[in-house]
Amino acid sequence: MIKKNNLYYPSEEIKKDAHINSEETYKEGEENPVAFWEKAANDVIWREKWDESFSHTPPYFKWFLGGKINITESFLDVHKESDKTAIIFCPNSPEEEERKISYRELYREVNRFANALKKMGVGKGDPVGIYLPMIPEMVFALLACARIGAMHTVVFSAFSPSALKVRLQDTQAKVLITTDGYNRAAEVIDLKKNVDEGIKETSIEKVILVKRGGNEINFTEKDVWWHDIVEGESDDCPAEMMDSEDPLFILYTSGSTGKPKGVLHTCGGYTVQAKATGKWIFDLKEDDVFWSTADAGWITGHTYTIYSPLLNGATTVIFEGVPNWPEKDRFAEIIEKHKVTIFYTAPTAIRLFKMQIGEIERSLESLRILGSVGEPIDEDAWEWYYREIGKGKCPVVDTWWQTETGGILISSLPGVGPFKPTFTGRTLPGLKFDIYNAEGKSVSANEEGDLVILPPFSPGMLRGVYKNDEKYRKTYFSEFGENIYYTSDTAYRDEEGLIRIVGRADDVIKVAGHRLSTGEMENVVAKNESVAECAVVGIKDDIRGEVPIVFAVIVGNKKAEEVTEEIKKVLMDDIGPIAMVKSIYIVEDLPKTRSGKIMRRIMKKLFTGEELGDLSTLANPESVELLKNVIKRDI
């Protein structure tokens, strides 16, 4: 890349072959965003064209109304005779043989399983739970649901039985697709045990098990083996024709309060956006080997590990294991071995590689684009990624988006640029973003404010919160009215208009790029009878970006150590290992305003060393001194 001042621009060589390499595309998008997205929509297969491109009755909006589509047709049917590799599966253990699945085989695997699901009574509009590690069946299961018009609802395989239960209770799925177990690094994960616990008090009637772990399981009358039910099924299963606005999937994510919410995505708009963003931002071409390290338990896994590379006819890498096991440079070994051309990961992984490996000894020559996602990337990590992994020749696309947006909406494009470390970059063509102050007015350059999206939004954005319309309206379309999508992120723009994300304005934290709600964690901690009051805040961490810490005021006779252990356990049981807290502080009081609001901001500042501000307005300013004494041991 070429550096001018502190900005990086793509070299002529990168520009030359890029799908988008000029300002023309931005102009087109600005002049008529709806027409711009219509053009993108013509790049996927529709059975019937839409008759209305965009409709908007705030806060609801729809795209490509009247169109008939099935997302799987754009790649399964298009490439069904092709022996080109669709998926490279890299198992947890390097000792186990890798598997290459061609588009032809993918067509067959998906259809056979889709037919088996149908036989089980699953049909259009039915929710189906998926609780699987990153094995090929994860992809087959998602695509089979999409093929028959069932809504897939993936639950991250590292979530606990309680987390699984809450989600299944909300969707009321009758079928769950899972596995007996699997290996993660050196550990055997008995997933079936979680399932037996997690499906209690849910509507699950059938559990489909992929044989993977080979561990002993309790086989119940609800259980069937995947390999048994696909036996003898036909390789063909006609794609169910879906209305553009029919649901494609639900994915739960953490919000400000209480329970996770089911973000609903629909067929037409999501398909268009998943294909287009892959093409524009990763410059995806059919000869690319794309590796997005994200698990399909998260939105990045849905859109960029699975749908987008397949829609673009590329090869996608599915990795079951851990990027630094058994060797610290396992991820680099995979890039080298499979000649990965585009690598997409989270800053946490980059920081970990930088710290553990430093200099890479493998050939990463095949790489042409690098991507970052999920949390802000710091300058050190950016520079290392750019120089050590990309050898100064690969554009680094820092991609901003959310579970709710379905696909990337902010990122400079590899064939255009510019790129600026720590800045996510330009908004995509065809979109209107702004940054508002509290009064809903645009802020000036370098001034922080709320990041918002203006109509016509993007085709792949959420259409609702499953069974909770109130939450949809309140969370996204109330802060600045029904016409403006509120992202919950704080951001600013520099003089060139490049956007830098500062962080979340709500109580969502990003731990290793994973989205967690401190509010949800507080509810879990408060369940403990000894806990009278608690607060969870995210504090900065050198590797994981942010980590949660707990402050709790306890009552009763139990010792502080005992309650601390109980808190750790309940977080693990109710959420899972990603809710592992850095520290738990048992304190006498929490700082509060006179109206009783707990001042989490002050607690955070105790760790950053920032000015605490005026404490005299607190109801109990002395509590802050007490907190300082308790946390002194750690900082």
Count of residues in the chain: 635
Return the number of the residue (106 or 250) whose C-beta is nearest ligand PRX: 250
CA 37/CA 524 separation, integer angstroms? 43
Shortest CB 346 distance to ligand PRX, Å: 8
Shortest CB 304 distance to ligand PRX, Å: 9
Strands 261-266, 464-465: pairing is antiparallel
Return the number of the residue (247 or 513) whose C-beta is nearest ligand PRX: 513
Tokens representing 526 are 């408060």
Residues near 331 by Cβ (< 8 Å), separated by ≥ 6?
Answer: 293, 323, 324, 345, 349, 353
Return the number of the residue (144 or 465) whose C-beta is nearest ligand PRX: 465
Per the CB < 8 A criterion, the answer to whether 249 and 153 are in contact is yes
Shortest CB 214 distance to ligand PRX, Å: 32
Return the number of the residue (25 or 399) whose C-beta is nearest ligand PRX: 399
CA-CA-CA-CA dihedral for 270, 275, 281, 284, to nearest 10? 160
CA 89/CA 84 separation, integer angstroms? 14
Residue 80 Rama label (left phi>0; alpha psi -120 to 50; beta): alpha
Return the number of the residue (19 or 515) whose C-beta is nearest ligand PRX: 515
DSSP state of 72: G
CA 223/CA 257 separation, integer angstroms? 35
The residue ranges that bind ligand PRX (CB under 6 A) are 253, 299-300, 373-376, 398-403, 424, 487-489, 501, 504, 510, 515
For residue 566, count other CB atoms closer than 10 A to its CB.
Answer: 18
Helix (H) or strand (E) holding 266, with range, is strand 261-266
Give helix then strand counts, H and E, for the chain: 19, 32
Return the number of the residue (135 or 373) whose C-beta is nearest ligand PRX: 373
Tokens representing 206 are 């059938």
Return the number of the residue (207 or 296) whose C-beta is nearest ligand PRX: 296
Shortest CB 14 distance to ligand PRX, Å: 21
Return the number of the residue (116 or 350) whose C-beta is nearest ligand PRX: 350
Shortest CB 505 distance to ligand PRX, Å: 9
Per the CB < 8 A criterion, the answer to whether 389 and 370 are in contact is yes
Which residues are registered as beta bridge partners of 585? 551
Shortest CB 126 distance to ligand PRX, Å: 25
Alpha helices in 18-100 (DSSP H): 24-31, 33-41
Half-sphere exposure of 283 (CA within 13 A, CB side): 27
Shortest CB 424 distance to ligand PRX, Å: 5
Return the number of the residue (212 or 279) whose C-beta is nearest ligand PRX: 279
Per the CB < 8 A criterion, the answer to whether 583 and 634 are in contact is yes
Return the number of the residue (131 or 252) whose C-beta is nearest ligand PRX: 252
Q: What angle do CA 10, 11, 15 make, to 5 degrees?
A: 70
Shortest CB 452 distance to ligand PRX, Å: 12
CA 29/CA 35 separation, integer angstroms? 8
Shortest CB 275 distance to ligand PRX, Å: 17
Shortest CB 186 distance to ligand PRX, Å: 28
CA 405/CA 299 separation, integer angstroms? 9
Return the number of the residue (310 or 462) whose C-beta is nearest ligand PRX: 462
Shortest CB 512 distance to ligand PRX, Å: 11
DSSP-derived 3-state class of residue 37: helix
